[in-house]
Amino acid sequence: MSARVLVLYTGGTVGMEPSPEGYRPMPDFGGRLRETLQRSAGDELPELDVVALERPIDSANLSPLHWQRMAEPLLANWDAYTGFVLLHGTDTMAWSAAALSFILQGTDKPVIFTGSQIPLLQPRSDAPAHLQAALQLAAYHRVPEVGLCFGRHLWRGNRSSKIASQALDAFGSPNYPPLADLAIELQVHPERLLRAPAQQRFIVPAFDPQAVAVLNLYPGISGHVVDALLGCAHVRGLVLRSYGVGNAPEADRSFMQALERASQRGVVLLNTTLCATGPVVQGAYATGSALTQAGVVPGADMTLEAAFAKLHVLLGTETDPDRVRERLGQPLCGELTPAT
């Protein structure tokens, strides 16, 4: 089969145009995208089809329910295309890339997220370069991963984060190197890629948008805050953002007891670090060991986005909280570095 790519527009800046009320979705985005790419890339373009979600979203309005809407057209057309490109708003692109990596575990094809900081048809837009690179990766390179292509790199989707609100190099990967460098030559690093397994494990969970909450630690936090946050019956998982290598105020018994109560009634608690880089090592200090005793699972070096998406997917596919806890500590698709 000759290279053929499905481009899915989910929304975001790349497909916007200015109006008196601010940026709004441009009409006939697919046609304008083709025209722009034809002018800039010409014969280097693979065969491509452009489709859009029925209701494209501003990425700040993203809900876990949208991940199902993104996955469905890919799965419905999986065998017809060499690879897939998803155009997404930058604010929550890393969250969606992480989620799709868990939904499409074992992919043997490239699924590349990209977008832009400047709309496609605006002067100095970064969109054409991102689109060309994403299409090349999806069509002509063996990258069996969900990736995020932006600026000068292709990152593993579940290792990436948005690190700058306005810079054109808006994304980074705090704990894993790039899968490819987008320089004069597009250089893929095969030794950093996942190995495509013998069979796929594609599962689209029934997402409950309220199932997972996030709590950042801060000086003076109390057990009342934990109880208030986890008092909602829908909340079945919590991503805890702790200090340093995974430390929490263990001297505050009300705080620790609130975590223990939540864990005992089946809420799954996952610990990540507030630091920009580095892993959680929960047993390094007594303040971290107390979290283990309270039933909190260490999140290794997962990003917040990966931890949140992984917890959502596991809670949507597993009914036993202990099974969810067990799988949280296992690398499912390259999202964490196992402890040695």
Residues of the binding site for substrate: 59, 90-91
Residue 53 carries which DSSP code? -
Stated length of the chain = 340
- How far is residue 52 from each of residues 15, 92, 152, 205, measured CA to CA in Å? 11, 18, 26, 22
CA angle 173, 140, 159 (to 5 degrees): 15
281 Cβ contact list (under 8 Å, min separation 6):
245, 246, 288, 298
Q: Report the sign of the C-alpha dihedral through residues 104, 97, 233, 254, in that order.
A: positive
Q: Catalytic residue numbers?
A: 13, 90
Query: For residue 121, how many other CB atoms are within 10 A of its CB?
Result: 19
- What is the C-alpha separation between 41 and 148, in angstroms, rounded? 20
Matching residue, tokens 């809900």? 63
54-75 as b/e, with b when 16 or more CB fall inside 10 Å?
eebbebeebebebbbbbbebbe
- What is the C-alpha separation between 58 and 48, in angstroms, rounded? 24
- Amino acid in position 160: S
Tokens, residue 98: 């992480």
